[in-house]
């Protein structure tokens, strides 16, 4: 369920930002860095945009190719899949080549302690007035998972230092809103809007997707909390949108 919830919340907020920033009906050039299985890549292509997916894991590239193969020809023609590292955007693409760049979960899975250079490379891909969309793990909420599960040693460890641990005890990488705000300002894509993702559903063991009515109420609650302080500040994930003004 967690995957379904955060993908739907990302889609809603991303569509909202795109609608506010670009003319209705404009076919955008979109780069999805770390596309995974291509969920957002295919969704945006279905909406009429030209989308390039960049992914370093060949298994995930293969899964995205299989999913793409089931789409109508018109959608397939709008998608390009590239196997490559997120740190090498400048190797694969020209500066200013995209109106929107997505970087969802890439930093969560990276071992880099300083993501500034990677994010700067992505920002260079943005055209004037371009939009950079980030999804990261919230470092200010790492203690909530173990704390709500009654794991007091885990909660204390998460309060004491970064990185924290996930609910399986594995080390995780996380970022703070303030640090990323400073990074986005420094790479000429200052923070334009931010949201919490999975305020209520990010903490326990994953659960099956509920029935449609329950899922809609869950999403409504998550969407509202993810836009409202103080709730969004303790979400499991943060969705940040940086915008290039010129």
For the cut 80, the answer to whether the pLDDT of residue 120 exceeds it is yes
Convert the pLDDT of each residue in 128-142 to its tens digit. 999 999 999 999 999
The lowest-confidence range among 171-180, 189-198, 221-230 is 171-180
Q: What is the overall mean pLDDT for the chain?
A: 91
Measured distance CA(72)–CA(116) in Å, rounded: 38
Question: What pLDDT sits at residue 162?
Answer: 55
Higher pLDDT, 130 or 204: 130
By CB atoms closer than 10 A (0-12, 13-18, 19+), residue 242 is buried
- Token couple for 242: 């940086």
Convert the pLDDT of each residue in 14-66 to its tens digit. 999 999 999 999 999 999 999 999 999 999 999 999 999 999 999 999 999 99
Question: What pLDDT sits at residue 158?
Answer: 84
């Amino acid at each position: 369920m967690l995957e379904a919830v955060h993908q739907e919340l990302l889609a809603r907020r991303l569509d909202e930002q795109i609608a506010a920033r670009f003319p209705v009906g404009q076919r955008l050039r979109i780069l999805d860095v770390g596309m995974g299985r291509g969920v957002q890549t295919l969704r945006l292509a279905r909406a009429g945009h030209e989308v390039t997916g960049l992914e370093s894991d060949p298994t995930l590239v293969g899964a995205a190719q299989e999913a793409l193969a089931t789409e109508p020809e018109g959608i397939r023609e709008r998608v390009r899949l590239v196997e490559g590292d997120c740190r090498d955007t400048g190797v694969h693409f020209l500066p200013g080549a995209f109106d929107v760049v997505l970087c969802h979960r890439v930093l969560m899975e990276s071992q880099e302690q300083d993501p500034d250079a990677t994010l700067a490379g992505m920002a260079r891909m943005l055209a004037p007035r371009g939009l950079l969309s980030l999804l990261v793990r919230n470092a200010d909420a790492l203690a909530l998972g173990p704390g709500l599960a009654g794991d007091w040693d885990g909660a204390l460890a998460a309060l004491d230092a970064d990185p924290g641990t996930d609910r399986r005890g594995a080390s995780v990488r996380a970022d703070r809103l303030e640090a990323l705000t400073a990074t986005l300002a420094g790479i000429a894509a200052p923070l334009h809007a931010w949201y919490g993702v999975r305020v209520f559903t990010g903490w326990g063991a994953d659960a099956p997707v509920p029935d449609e009515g329950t899922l809609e109420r869950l999403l409504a609650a998550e969407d509202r909390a993810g836009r409202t302080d103080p709730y969004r500040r303790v979400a499991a994930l943060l969705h940040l949108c940086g915008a290039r003004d010129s």
